[in-house]
C-alpha cells in the first residue's frame, strides 16, 4: 500500500471513530476480543481547539470560537503508536480510538477492524446522513407557475 | 473605590443553599435531565454555545440548568469553564460549501441549484400557542423525499460568476488575530471583528442590525443566503503530519448582499456582510452579517455616521459577559464611595442654599427699594 | 511523516502536578534573580535539549506561544517533534516573533535586542529566553542588584555571549521593555528578569 492510500485509510478510520457514539464503539470493540496491553503516551485529556471560518465563506480565516476535544496517544507492546482526537469530553472514547488506531498499524488487524468495526459504523452514519438529507428534501419548495392572461 | 469588607459569610452560605433549593423547585416535579435540555431546548443550548464561545452541547445544557434558565448567566458559566482548559491547537477553516444542509434559503433567487430548503423553521408558523404541547403528545417524524441529492450551490458562487459581487481576498497566510489573547486595539481587523460578533449578544446585534435597516447607516441588504447544517472539523496533528477529522459541528451561515454604488477604486457592485455562528441561530447570523457589513464602512470609503458603523461602539459593547460584569458590579459595596458623594452633595447643597438665600435677600431688598422709589 | 516513538515519550508523567512543581521553581527563581536553585527535571527530551530545559518547555510553552530554536536545536527534527507533541508548540524562524526562545549555544545566539522586547503599553509582549549554559561557576563573574535581591547577588555563568555585560546593560536600560532569561545548567536553574541590573564596576 502506498503512503497516500495508507494515510487516506487512517484518516477515514479516525473520522468514523470520532463521530461514533461511545456505547456503540464499545459494543463492537468487545465483540472483536482484542485486548492489547498498552502504555499511555499522552492523555486522555480534555482541551480546546479553536474553530475557524473564512470571511464570506471563502476569504481569510477568522476564529469562530472554541470546541472541547479529548485526545489520547498510546503505545502497544509491539511498539505501534496510535493517536485519537474527537470533539467533546470523553476519556473512554479517546483512549479506545487511540488503541484502535495503534492496532491498525498492523495490516492484518486493520483489515479485521475495518470490516468488523469501521464498516458497520460508517454505514450507520451514512444512513443517518441520508435520512437527514431526505427529511430536508421534503421541505424543498416546488414552485408552480400560474397560468395568466387569455388562452 | 473598593474597601475590603468582612462579614456576611453565613448569609452568603445560606443564600447559596436557598438558590439551590429554588433552582430545584417543587420536589414532586421530576428534575430536568441534561438530555432533555439538549434535545428539547436545543436553540437555547445553541445560543449559550455561540455566545459562550464554546461548542459543547452538554456543557451548555448544564450551564442552563445551573443558571435556572438565565441564558446570560449560563454564557458566563461557559466562558469561565473554557478558561480552565488548555488549547491544543487550531482547526482548519471549515468549508461551509460542503455543509450537510438542513436548511438553505435565498431571498435573491427563486430557483437556484439545490432549491429553497425550508428545514425545521419557525417561519410560516402562525405564532399561535399550541396547547397540544402542554402534554406529551405523539409527534410524527419528519417526512422524507427520496431522490438523488443535488449539490446546494452557494449564492455567492452564482453571483461571482457574473463578476457583480466583490471577491473575498484570498488568504495571505497570516494568522488571524485572537480576541482571547490580545487586548482590543482599534481599528480591528475584519477577522477579529467577526470573532467578536460571533460571540456577541444576540439582542444587541439584532438591535444594531435593525438600526441599519431603519436608516442609521444606509444599506440595502438582501438575505443572499442562509444555510444551516453540519460541517466536518479537521485538526492538523503534527505527530501524524496530516489533518484528521475530529467530528462535526452545526453552524448557521448568512451571506448578506448589499448594493454598493462604487467608489474611486471600485466599480458599482454588490458587497457582502457575513455571519457565522454555532448551532441553529439564523436571527443571530443575520444580525451579525448586517453589523459586519456596517462595520466595513471605512474599508469601503463610506461616511461613518451611525452607531452600527462605529467599531469601538459595537465591539466594545457587544459582549454580554463584559456588559453584565460592569453593570452588575454596581451591586458591590460602594459604601465609602457613597459616603464621599454624600458629603460632597451636602456641601454643594449648603453652598447652593447660601447663594440662593443671598440672592433672594438681594431680590427682596431691591423690591423694597423700587417700591420706596415709586412712592 | 510518521513520528518515531522515541519522540513521543519523555514528557511529564503527571502533566498537571509536574507542571505545577516546575512552574513554582521558575516563579521562585524569577522572584529571586541570580540565585541558583536545584530542580529535578521530570522530563526526558531528546538531546541536545537538557532535561530541565525540556521540563521548562513543557511547563511554559503551549499552542499560543510561538517558539524560536537556535541552530543547534532546530537542526534536530526529533527534538522539534518532541516539543510539538508534548507542548503543542508552534515554531517560528524569526526571533522577534517568538514568545519563547530555546538556546543550546548561547555564545552564538543573536543579540538580545533581536528578540521581542514588548511595547511601552504591553511590556509583557516580550520574549523569555531559556539558555542552556555549561555551568553556574567558572565563567565571568557578574553581580546584580534590583527588586528581589537583598543587597547584591553574584554568579559566574559559563558559556554566555562574550559581550553579555554590554547587552544586559542595554536590556535593563530598555525597562519596562526587554527580555527575561532563564539559565539552565544540569539540574540547576537561575533567572535574570529585566529588572536585575548589573552592579557597575563589577562587570
- State the Cα–Cα distance between residues B206 and B200, nearest whole angstrom: 10
Q: Which residues of A touch B125 (CB under 8 A)?
A: none
- What is the pLDDT, as a whole number, of residue C2? 47
Least confident of B114-123, B189-198, B329-338, C35-44: B329-338
* Domain-located, residue C98: yes
CATH code, domain carrying C105: 3.40.50.11310
Domain definitions of chain A by residue range: 3-136
- State the Cα–Cα distance between residues A97 and A91, nearest whole angstrom: 10
- What is the pLDDT, as a whole number, of residue B373? 66
Subunit contact B274:A55, Cβ cutoff 8 A: yes
Residue B228 has pLDDT above 80, yes or no: yes
Taking the CA atoms of B127, B128, B132 and B133 in sequence, report the sign of the dihedral they define: positive
- What is the pLDDT, as a whole number, of residue C4? 60
- State the Cα–Cα distance between residues C58 and C23, nearest whole angstrom: 10
Of B49, B93, B142, the CB nearest to A61: B93
Cα–Cα distance list, B261 to B212, B271, B272, C137 (Å): 17, 10, 13, 73
The residues of B whose Cβ lies within 8 A of any Cβ of C are 86-90, 178, 181, 183, 238-241
Q: Chains with ≥3 Cβ pairs under 8 A against C?
A: A, B
Subunit contact C88:B240, Cβ cutoff 8 A: no
Cβ contact A82:A103 at 8 Å: yes
For testing contact with chain A, the best of C4, C5, C87, C90 (most A CBs within 10 A):
C5
Between these two residues, B182 and A134, which has the higher pLDDT value? A134
Cβ contact C102:C89 at 8 Å: no
What pLDDT, in 10s, does the model give residues B23-47? Answer: 999 999 999 999 999 999 999 999 9
Subunit contact C84:B238, Cβ cutoff 8 A: yes
Of A57, A62, A89, the CB nearest to B154: A57
- State the Cα–Cα distance between residues A104 and A116, nearest whole angstrom: 13
Residue C1 has pLDDT above 50, yes or no: no
Cβ contact B107:B254 at 8 Å: no
Task: Name residues of chain A where pLDDT drops below 50.
Answer: none
Least confident of A102-111, B70-79, B166-175, C82-91: B166-175
- What is the pLDDT, as a whole number, of residue B192? 96
Residue B3 has pLDDT above 60, yes or no: no
For testing contact with chain B, the best of C7, C11, C12, C64 (most B CBs within 10 A):
C64
Q: Among B278, B298, B302, B274, which Cα is nearest to B288's?
A: B274
* Domain-located, residue C94: yes
Subunit contact C8:A45, Cβ cutoff 8 A: no
Q: Among B213, B184, B223, which Cα is nearest to B315's?
A: B184
B358 falls in which pLDDT band (50, 70, 90)? confident
Cβ contact C96:C66 at 8 Å: no
Question: What is residue B94's three-state secondary structure?
Answer: coil
Q: Rounded to 10 degrees, what is the CA torsion of A121, A125, A128, A133? A: -150
For the entire predicted model, the pTM comes to 0.91
- What is the pLDDT, as a whole number, of residue A1? 61
Q: Which helix (H) or strand (E) holds B250?
A: strand B242-260
* Domain-located, residue C203: no
Q: Among A46, A20, A29, which Cα is nearest to A103's?
A: A29
What pLDDT, in 10s, does the model give residues C97-147? Answer: 999 999 999 999 999 999 999 999 999 999 999 999 999 999 999 999 999
Cis ω for the linkage preceding B42 (within 30 of 0): no
Cα–Cα distance list, B49 to A4, A144, B200, B292, C108 (Å): 37, 40, 12, 20, 49
Q: Chains with ≥3 Cβ pairs under 8 A against A?
A: B, C
Of A42, A45, A81, the CB nearest to C5: A81
The answer to whether residue A23 neighbours chain B at the CB level (below 8 Å) is: no
Question: What is residue B253's three-state secondary structure?
Answer: strand
Hey, which residues 75-114 in chain C have their CB within 8 Å of chain B?
81, 84-85, 88
What pLDDT, in 10s, does the model give residues B131-155? Answer: 999 999 899 999 999 877 788 988 8
- What is the pLDDT, as a whole number, of residue C203? 45
Q: What is the DSSP letter of A115?
A: I
Q: Which residues of B touch A55 (CB under 8 A)?
A: 168, 190-191, 194, 274
Subunit contact A66:B88, Cβ cutoff 8 A: no
Of A60, A64, A88, the CB nearest to B276: A64
Instruction: Give the residue numbers spanning the domain of C20.
Output: 5-198
What pLDDT, in 10s, does the model give residues B297-325? Answer: 998 888 999 999 999 999 999 999 999 99
Subunit contact A41:C15, Cβ cutoff 8 A: no
Cβ contact C68:C83 at 8 Å: no
Give chain B's end-to-end CA distance (angstroms, integer).
62
Taking the CA atoms of C189, C193, C198 and C203 in sequence, report the sign of the dihedral they define: positive
ipTM above 0.90, yes or no: yes
- What is the pLDDT, as a whole number, of residue B149? 76
Mention every residue, 6+ apart, whose C-beta is less than 8 A from residue C79: C7, C45, C46, C47, C48, C49, C69, C73
What pLDDT, in 10s, does the model give residues C4-25? Answer: 667 889 999 999 999 999 999 9
Subunit contact A139:B117, Cβ cutoff 8 A: yes
A–B interface: beta-carbon pairs under 8 A: 219
Amino acid at each position: 500500500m502506498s503512503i497516500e492510500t495508507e494515510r487516506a485509510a487512517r484518516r477515514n478510520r479516525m473520522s468514523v471513530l470520532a463521530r461514533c457514539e461511545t456505547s456503540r464503539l464499545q459494543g463492537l470493540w468487545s465483540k472483536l476480543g482484542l485486548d492489547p496491553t498498552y502504555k499511555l503516551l499522552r492523555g486522555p485529556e480534555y482541551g480546546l481547539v479553536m474553530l475557524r471560518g473564512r470571511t464570506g465563506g471563502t476569504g481569510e480565516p477568522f476564529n469562530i470560537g472554541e470546541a472541547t476535544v479529548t485526545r489520547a496517544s498510546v503505545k502497544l507492546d509491539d511498539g505501534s503508536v496510535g493517536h485519537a482526537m474527537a470533539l467533546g469530553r470523553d476519556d473512554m472514547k479517546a483512549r479506545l480510538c487511540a488503541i484502535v488506531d495503534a492496532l491498525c498499524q498492523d495490516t492484518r488487524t486493520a483489515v479485521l477492524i475495518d470490516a468488523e468495526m469501521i464498516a458497520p459504523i460508517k454505514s450507520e452514519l451514512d444512513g443517518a446522513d441520508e435520512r437527514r438529507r431526505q427529511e430536508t428534501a421534503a421541505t424543498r419548495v416546488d414552485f408552480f407557475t400560474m397560468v395568466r392572461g387569455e388562452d | 473605590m473598593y474597601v475590603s469588607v468582612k462579614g456576611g459569610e453565613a448569609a452568603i452560605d445560606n443564600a447559596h443553599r436557598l438558590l439551590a433549593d429554588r433552582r430545584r423547585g417543587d420536589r414532586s416535579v421530576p428534575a430536568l435531565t441534561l438530555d432533555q435540555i439538549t434535545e428539547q431546548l436545543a436553540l437555547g443550548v445553541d445560543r449559550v454555545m455561540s455566545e459562550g464561545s464554546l461548542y459543547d452541547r452538554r456543557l451548555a445544557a448544564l450551564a442552563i440548568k445551573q443558571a435556572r434558565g438565565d441564558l446570560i448567566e449560563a454564557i458566563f458559566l461557559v466562558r469561565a469553564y473554557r478558561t480552565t482548559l488548555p488549547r491544543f491547537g487550531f482547526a482548519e477553516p471549515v468549508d461551509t460549501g460542503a455543509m450537510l444542509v438542513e436548511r438553505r434559503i435565498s431571498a435573491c433567487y427563486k430557483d437556484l441549484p439545490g432549491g429553497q430548503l425550508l428545514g425545521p423553521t419557525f417561519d410560516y408558523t402562525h405564532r399561535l400557542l399550541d396547547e397540544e404541547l402542554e402534554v406529551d403528545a405523539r409527534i410524527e417524524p419528519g417526512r422524507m423525499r427520496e431522490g438523488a441529492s443535488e449539490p446546494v450551490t452557494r449564492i455567492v458562487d452564482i453571483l461571482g460568476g457574473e463578476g457583480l459581487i466583490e471577491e473575498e481576498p484570498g488568504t495571505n497566510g497570516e494568522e488571524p488575530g485572537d480576541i482571547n489573547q490580545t487586548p482590543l486595539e482599534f481599528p480591528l481587523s475584519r477577522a477579529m471583528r467577526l470573532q467578536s460578533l460571533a460571540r456577541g449578544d444576540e439582542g444587541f446585534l439584532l438591535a444594531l442590525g435593525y438600526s441599519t435597516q431603519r436608516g442609521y447607516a444606509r444599506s440595502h441588504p438582501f438575505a443572499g443566503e442562509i444555510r444551516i447544517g453540519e460541517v466536518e472539523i479537521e485538526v492538523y496533528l503534527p505527530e501524524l503530519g496530516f489533518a484528521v477529522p475530529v467530528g462535526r459541528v452545526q453552524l448557521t451561515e448568512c451571506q448578506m448582499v448589499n448594493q454598493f454604488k462604487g467608489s474611486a477604486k471600485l466599480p458599482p457592485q454588490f458587497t457582502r456582510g457575513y455571519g457565522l455562528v454555532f448551532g441553529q441561530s439564523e436571527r443571530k447570523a443575520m444580525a451579525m452579517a448586517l453589523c459586519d457589513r456596517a462595520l466595513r464602512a471605512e474599508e469601503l470609503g463610506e461616511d461613518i455616521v451611525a452607531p452600527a458603523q462605529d467599531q469601538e461602539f459595537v465591539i466594545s459593547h457587544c459582549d454580554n459577559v463584559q456588559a453584565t460584569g460592569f453593570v452588575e458590579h454596581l451591586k458591590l459595596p460602594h459604601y465609602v464611595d457613597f459616603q464621599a458623594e454624600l458629603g460632597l452633595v451636602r456641601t454643594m447643597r449648603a453652598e447652593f442654599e447660601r447663594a440662593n438665600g443671598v440672592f433672594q435677600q438681594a431680590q427682596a431688598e431691591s423690591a423694597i427699594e423700587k417700591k420706596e422709589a415709586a412712592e | 511523516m510518521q513520528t518515531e516513538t522515541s519522540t513521543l515519550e519523555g514528557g511529564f508523567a503527571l502533566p498537571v502536578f509536574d507542571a505545577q512543581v516546575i512552574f513554582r521553581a521558575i516563579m521562585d527563581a524569577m522572584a529571586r534573580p541570580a540565585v541558583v536553585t536545584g530542580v529535578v527535571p521530570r522530563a526526558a527530551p531528546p538531546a541536545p535539549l537538557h532535561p530541565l530545559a525540556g521540563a521548562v518547555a513543557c511547563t511554559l510553552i503551549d499552542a499560543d506561544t510561538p517558539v524560536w530554536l537556535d541552530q543547534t536545536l532546530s537542526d534536530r527534527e526529533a527534538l522539534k517533534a518532541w516539543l510539538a507533541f508534548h507542548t503543542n508548540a508552534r515554531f517560528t524562524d524569526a526571533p522577534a516573533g517568538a514568545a519563547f526562545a530555546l538556546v543550546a549555544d548561547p555564545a552564538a545566539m543573536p543579540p538580545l535586542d533581536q528578540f521581542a522586547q514588548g511595547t511601552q503599553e504591553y511590556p509583557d509582549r516580550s520574549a523569555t529566553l531559556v539558555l542552556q549554559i555549561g555551568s553556574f561557576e567558572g565563567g565571568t563573574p557578574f553581580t546584580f542588584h534590583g527588586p528581589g535581591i537583598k543587597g547584591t547577588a553574584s554568579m559566574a555563568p559559563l558559556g554566555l555571549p562574550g559581550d553579555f555585560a554590554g547587552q544586559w546593560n542595554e536590556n535593563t536600560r530598555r525597562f519596562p521593555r526587554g527580555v527575561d532569561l532563564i539559565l539552565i545548567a544540569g539540574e540547576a536553574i537561575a533567572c535574570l528578569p529585566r529588572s536585575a541590573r548589573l552592579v557597575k564596576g563589577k562587570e
